[in-house]
Amino acid sequence: MTPAAPFDRVAESLLAFWAEAGIDAMLLDEPLDRIEAGKFVAPKPVDKKPPPPPPAGQVRAGPGGDIAAAVIEARRLAAEAKDLEALKAAIAGFDGCPLKFEGARQSVFCRGAADAPLMVIGEGPGAEEDARGEPFVGRAGQLLDKMLGAAGLKDRVFITNTVFWRPPGNRTPSPQEQATCLPFLERAIELVSPKMLLLVGAPSAKSMLKREEGILSLRGRWFEWRSEAGNLELPAMPTLHPAFLLRQPGAKKKAWSDLLTLTERLDRPDRGA
Ligand code: URA
């Protein structure tokens, strides 16, 4: 018979499971023993005050806001950013992405080499990234770093996401939220000028390539990514998200094979497909 796991290990693993599923807050300030109370007590309704109006001249696309106007504003701000520092500041000051007003602590832009030959684009920040202000620094990020390191890409990547604020509960970012962040992402691609893109997970692959297939069909194949204005073009490869690999370790060999295919092309002098 297998000995029972100690209670603290069981509790720790359960908490980790919840945190990964995006459950990182209690409903009530004080714990409530519902068995003792003998009846269900509904949590207090959330105070749904509308956010204060944006300062004059600024666009805010909160729930029900004007996404088209926010995209135009994002394009203007992104075009004005002369370098990555200016772009980071422009993102932090932008009020047009609804996610900014849905509980995110701060904007999360990028990490890595400013002149990297490879740009990794994930889905969006999670809890750890929201707390630290950098992309891919949680468990999934650690696995991503290990894989990039093993492929010889450690200092040759620039890492970012399709959205720059954490979606509440780690839900998938909506196409509208991605659209308001896209001008900044495209400007980052222009400034870094990578040779190729690695699109990590379905929300990144589908939004960047405007494809509807699932990630299992997209992964490991080469696509040509094109910017909205058509002035930038790069080879792009979708692959599995490291958070998925943590849940399904059996899929790691597929992601590893994608990374090797990509590295082989990146290191080839002509970089042709
Ligand atoms: N998952 C992502 O897609 N991006 C991050 O930055 C972290 C987790």
With residue 112 as reference, give the H or E element that holds it. Answer: strand 111-112
Question: Is residue 180 predicted with pLDDT exceeding 80?
Answer: yes
Q: Which atom, in ligand 1's list, is nearest to the CA of 123?
A: 3
How high does pLDDT run on average in the chain? 87
Q: From residue 180, give the alpha-carbon distance in Å to each of 54, 75, 175, 266.
A: 16, 9, 9, 30
Q: 96: Cβ below 6 Å to ligand 1?
A: no
Q: Which of 5-9, 159-163, 249-253 has the lowest mean pLDDT?
A: 5-9
Q: 141: Cβ below 6 Å to ligand 1?
A: yes
128 CA distance to ligand 1 middle (Å): 9
The b/e string for 153-173 (b: 16+ C-beta within 10 A; e otherwise) is beebbbbbbbbbbbbeebebb
Question: Is residue 119 predicted with pLDDT exceeding 60?
Answer: yes
For the record, the structure tokens of 105 come out as 């602590």
pLDDT value for 271: 84
pLDDT greater at residue 11 or residue 115: 115
If you average pLDDT over residues 8-17, what whole number do you get?
A: 59
CATH superfamily to which 58-266 belongs: Uracil-DNA glycosylase-like domain (3.40.470.10)
Q: 126: Cβ below 6 Å to ligand 1?
A: yes
If you average pLDDT over residues 147-163, what whole number do you get?
A: 98
Give the whole-number percent of the chain exceeding pLDDT 70. 76
Q: Ligand 1 test: best mutation among 106, 107, 123, 134, most atoms within 8 Å of CB?
A: 123
Give helix 175-192 / helix 84-93 axis angle, nearest 10°. Answer: 160
If you average pLDDT over residues 260-273, what whole number do you get?
A: 92
pLDDT value for 8: 65
Cα separation of 113 and 224, whole Å? Answer: 23
Question: Is residue 92 predicted with pLDDT exceeding 70?
Answer: yes
Task: Report domain extents, the chain.
Answer: 58-266
If you average pLDDT over residues 228-237, what whole number do you get?
A: 98
Q: Which atom, in ligand 1's list, is nearest to the CA of 200?
A: 3
33 CA distance to ligand 1 middle (Å): 35
pLDDT value for 42: 46
pLDDT value for 44: 46
**Digit-coded pLDDT (tens) for 32-64:** 565 565 444 444 444 545 555 555 555 565 555
pLDDT value for 57: 52
Q: 124: Cβ below 6 Å to ligand 1?
A: yes
Max Cα-Cα span within the chain: 71
165 CA distance to ligand 1 middle (Å): 11
CB 78 within 8 A of CB 187: yes
Question: How confident is residue 1, by pLDDT bands cut at 50, 70 and 90?
Answer: very low
